[in-house]
Amino acid sequence: MSSLALILPLLIPLATAGVGILAWRSRRLQRAIGLIGSVVLVIASVWLFVLVREEGIQSLQIANWQAPFGITLVGDLLSVALVLATAVMGVCVIVYSFGSVDRARESFFYYPLMHVLLMGINGAFLTGDLFNLYVWFEVMLISSFVLLALGGERAQLEGALKYVTLNLASSVIFLTGIGVVYGVAGTLNFADLALKLSAFEEQGIVTTLSMILFITFGVKAAIFPLFFWLPASYHTPPAAVSAIFAGMLTKVGVYALIRVFTLIFNQDISYTHTLILVVAGFTMVTGVLGAAAQHEFRRILSFHIISQIGYMIMGLGLMVSGNPAAVRLAIAGAFFYIIHNIVAKSNLFLISGVANKLRGSYELSRLGGLYASNPALSLLFLISAFALAGVPPLSGFFGKLMLVRAGLEAEAYVIVAVALGVGLLTLFSMTKIWAEAFWKPAPDESDDESAGESPGKAAVRQPGMALMMAPIIFLAVLAVALGVFFEPVYNFSIDMADQILDPRAYIEAVLPPEYIEQVRGGVK
Amino acid sequence: MNSIILQTATRYLLPLLLLFSLFLLWRGHNEPGGGFVGGLVAASAIALQAIAFGPARARQAVRIDLRALIAIGLITALVSGIPALMRGDSYMQAYWMDLGHESIGYIKVGTPLIFDIGVYLTVIGVALLMIITVAEE
Amino acid sequence: MEVLLAIVIGILFACGLYMMMRRSIVKLVIGLALLGHAANLVIFVAGGLRRGAPPLVPTGADAPPELVADPLPQALVLTAIVISFGVVAFTLVLVKRTWQAVGNDDIDLMRATDT
């Protein structure tokens, strides 16, 4: 049954998108199809998750062309957990869209595009070779281009142009890298590459290849100094689109980095992973300092995405220590941090959308008084913001704790200091949003009594508001639950790290045993 | 554009090009050709119609809404993998069967052909949607 | 042949990057397209150039009769071309819309999203 379980997370969104396009005449039908598709996707992802959890790594050779020659899908704990997270985020964002996305966008295939985006993300998580990773990246990018530009406001188009240009440039680098990898190794299958490159004689070339891919995935993951497209574009589309972008797209880049730098490029760790660690530190610092200079709700959050990416990359970079316990904890911490960040960051973007709906602006100077008019929303914001900053007992605290512990055990004190300092600055930024948007009195209350209050009150009664609040509440509860029920998640993360750090299981799950024998024998 | 030469030529070329696109689609599995190339040829035939008679005529010539064409194509391509799933094989595994009779010979028909038809329809839809949308502005 | 193609690739990269550095968004798209072609050629060359027969196995045999060309880089390039075809088409529409919204094709004027 593994063949069905692995293909469903790709087929369901594709089928949903196809049927959704056919139903373009009816807005209600489109919504229904979008919702049903995403719920079915969650069910399929749970099934895949349970299957992989119980029976180990699953692989599927499409059309039965054997690896390393065919197209391979692989589900290990890391990828299926992320597929599950994608599916859950998909439902949240689609429900949220019901209440927030305007009619023009909905009739311009908003929901089908969203499902194509989900398919691209899932494909990138599940694929087992480098070229298909490129293809899924492009599927993801094309749908995100359209979602970003849909609506056609000036800021959106300018943001989209920057996003498109930088991402296409990174795709070109990726493609060049693929060409060179194929020229060097004669294969693009992850497992086969892991097998062949580790025995490759000229390790200098392998390190060069790893750097080409590092740059490519670095652009996608928005690491220092390749992140400029992110704060230029993420604050322009509707909040629902921002939320799924913020939650998932950069994480795909991080996933690719983790996959490639644990499975394939683990020969010259002292060089490559030290570089990753240094970049992680700079990413954290520049992101959080950039956020401190901003005064727009979503721009602050956009810069925080960058600084949070730094934490995830830090977990990967800590592999340099060579201390097995520390490395295990670091990878587990990076994984936990990804999951936590998907939940908390997306939720903050969703909340910013509600604030915008209530007050008609994302500018902090024009927001205000939300605590007085919407205490419940303020509480939800506080939960997510504190989770992001790492206040116990919320999810971010444990993510940071794992990474800091790993850093201490690895004796990488500088990066630990940076991580802790950036945590404080994150709290500072979140307090800034809190003080400006929620706590301070509404700005135009003094000169116009009614303007500050009545739109807010009117908006609360809007029918769409319940649909927007439901996913926010769900995600806030999830952020708390990740902290309160930390232990099972921790155990899972450790299992995942063990699996990631032992590539043999991955290789054996993908390639036929005779082939592995042959390659190993041929090398000696 | 209002050129009588182009318009007259298009009337003759359109059926020829469409026929050629089907030929490419059909031979695609074992010889150069296939759904993508066939689709492009078909789309260029209709784009020629758009250049000669204007985009409105081209939309009429397709008859079916282009967006629906894309969706149908995608679903057709997706369905081509289902038989393999039902038999418990790997997704998109190819099955072939011989159609025909001894006296007239056999033709091979299989699931890859269905996939190619899906690609063919999707390519026509996407390419024409782009060309006609830009042409209409 | 490899050397010649390597030079071509270099020229394509140089032209593409040069075009991307220009201030006009139309030239930006041309630059991106050129970069894409360069990357495709890299795959083509890195896969090994060979004057060979098509990689088809004749009926009855279980291996191709002579030295054949490697089909995989060609499949990759074909896929990449198809993708870049779609992306460039989208980017052109985007550029046109941006030009309509901004009223100019000068990238230096597009600062609405910068700080």
A43-90, pLDDT tens digit by residue? 999 999 999 988 888 888 887 777 778 888 999 999 999 999 999 999
Please list every residue in chain B whose beta carbon sits closer than 8 Å to the beta carbon of residue A62: 90-92
pLDDT at A202: 81
Chains with 3 or more CB pairs under 8 A to chain C: A, B
Compute the half-sphere exposure of residue A518: CA atoms within 13 Å on the CB side of its CA: 7
* Local confidence band at B31 (pLDDT 50, 70, 90 cut-offs): confident
Residue B30's alpha-carbon distances to A382, B97, C57, C78, in angstroms, are 62, 15, 11, 17
CA distance B137 to chain C (A): 10
Q: What are the residues whose beta carbons fall under 8 Å from the beta carbon of A472, sequence distance 6 or more?
A: A96, A347, A350, A351, A354, A377, A380
DSSP-based three-state secondary structure for A74: strand
pLDDT at A123: 94
d(CA C70, CA C93): 36
d(CA A503, CA A511): 12
pLDDT at A451: 44
Nearest to A88 by CA among A379, A427, A481, A388: A481
Work out the percent of chain A whose per-residue pLDDT is above 70. 95
Tens digit of each residue's pLDDT (9 = 90 or more) over C49-70: 777 777 777 777 777 777 777 8
Is C39 within 8 Å of A293 when comparing Cβ atoms?
no
Please list every residue in chain A whose beta carbon sits closer than 8 Å to the beta carbon of residue C110: 158, 161
Q: What are the residues whose beta carbons fall under 8 Å from the beta carbon of C114, sequence distance 6 or more?
A: A232
Question: Where in chain C are the domains?
Answer: 2-50+69-109
Nearest to B125 by CA among A105, A20, A146, A21: A21
- Mean pLDDT over residues B91-107, rounded? 77
Nearest to A224 by CA among A237, A215, A212, A233: A215
Q: Are A247 and A345 in contact (CB under 8 A)?
A: yes
Work out the percent of chain C whose per-residue pLDDT is above 90. 27
CA distance A22 to chain B (A): 5
b/e code B31-57 from CB counts within 10 Å (16+ = b): eebbbbbbbbbbbbbbbbbbbbbbbee
Residue A408's alpha-carbon distances to A275, A489, C26, C36, in angstroms, are 18, 22, 51, 44
Tens digit of each residue's pLDDT (9 = 90 or more) over A266-291: 877 888 888 999 999 999 999 999 88
**Nearest CB neighbour to B36, from listed C82, C89, C96:** C82
* Local confidence band at A213 (pLDDT 50, 70, 90 cut-offs): very high
Please list every residue in chain A whose beta carbon sits closer than 8 Å to the beta carbon of residue C83: 135, 138
DSSP-based three-state secondary structure for A489: helix
Is B75 within 8 Å of A15 when comparing Cβ atoms?
yes
Please list every residue in chain C whose beta carbon sits closer than 8 Å to the beta carbon of residue A169: 20, 32, 35
Low pLDDT (below 50) residues in chain C: none
Which is more confident, B99 or A383?
Answer: A383
pLDDT at B117: 92
pLDDT at B41: 93
pLDDT at A504: 87
Task: Identify the sign of the CA torsion B26, B27, B28, B29.
Answer: positive
Tens digit of each residue's pLDDT (9 = 90 or more) over A164-200: 888 999 999 999 999 999 988 888 889 888 888 887 7
- Mean pLDDT over residues A207-223, rounded? 91
ipTM of the complex, rounded to two decimals: 0.92
CA distance A3 to chain B (A): 6
Is A62 within 8 Å of B92 when comparing Cβ atoms?
yes
* Local confidence band at A28 (pLDDT 50, 70, 90 cut-offs): confident
Is C98 within 8 Å of A158 when comparing Cβ atoms?
yes
Tens digit of each residue's pLDDT (9 = 90 or more) over A363-397: 877 777 778 888 888 888 888 888 888 888 888 88
> Minimal Cα distance from A65: which residue of B?
B93
Nearest to C39 by CA among A68, A212, A123, A203: A212
B/C interface, count of CB pairs below 8 Å: 10
> Minimal Cα distance from B37: which residue of C?
C82
Is C89 within 8 Å of B130 when comparing Cβ atoms?
yes
Work out the percent of chain A whose per-residue pLDDT is above 90. 31
Instruction: Give φ, ψ of C105 to 5 degrees.
Output: -110, 20
pLDDT at A378: 86
> Minimal Cα distance from A187: which residue of C?
C72
pLDDT at A454: 46
Please name the residue that has the structure tokens 């087929």. A11
Is A135 within 8 Å of C83 when comparing Cβ atoms?
yes
pLDDT at C37: 92
pLDDT at C113: 67
Q: What are the residues whose beta carbons fall under 8 Å from the beta carbon of A395, sequence distance 6 or more?
A: A339, A340, A343, A344, A387, A479, A480, A482, A483
Q: Are A199 and A523 in contact (CB under 8 A)?
A: yes
pLDDT at A362: 80
Q: What single letter denotes the amino acid at residue A170?
A: S
Q: What are the residues whose beta carbons fall under 8 Å from the beta carbon of A227, sequence distance 6 or more?
A: A283, A286, A287, A306, A309
CA distance A113 to chain B (A): 12
DSSP-based three-state secondary structure for A332: helix
Is C94 within 8 Å of A161 when comparing Cβ atoms?
yes
Q: Are B59 and B132 in contact (CB under 8 A)?
A: yes
Domain C2-50+69-109, CATH? 1.10.287.3510
- Of A239-243, B127-131, C64-68, the range with the lowest mean pLDDT is C64-68
Average pLDDT, chain A: 86
Please list every residue in chain B whose beta carbon sits closer than 8 Å to the beta carbon of residue A64: 89-90, 93
CA distance B134 to chain C (A): 8
pLDDT at A78: 92
Tens digit of each residue's pLDDT (9 = 90 or more) over A448-463: 444 444 444 444 556 6
CA distance C97 to chain A (A): 7
Q: What single letter denotes the amino acid at residue A15?
A: A
Structure tokens at A28: 């209600």
Is C86 within 8 Å of A152 when comparing Cβ atoms?
no
Judged against a pLDDT cut of 60, whether residue A215 lies above it is answered with yes
Please list every residue in chain B whose beta carbon sits closer than 8 Å to the beta carbon of residue A30: none
d(CA A64, CA A71): 9
pLDDT at A323: 83
pLDDT at A68: 79
**Nearest CB neighbour to C93, from listed B30, B126, B134:** B134
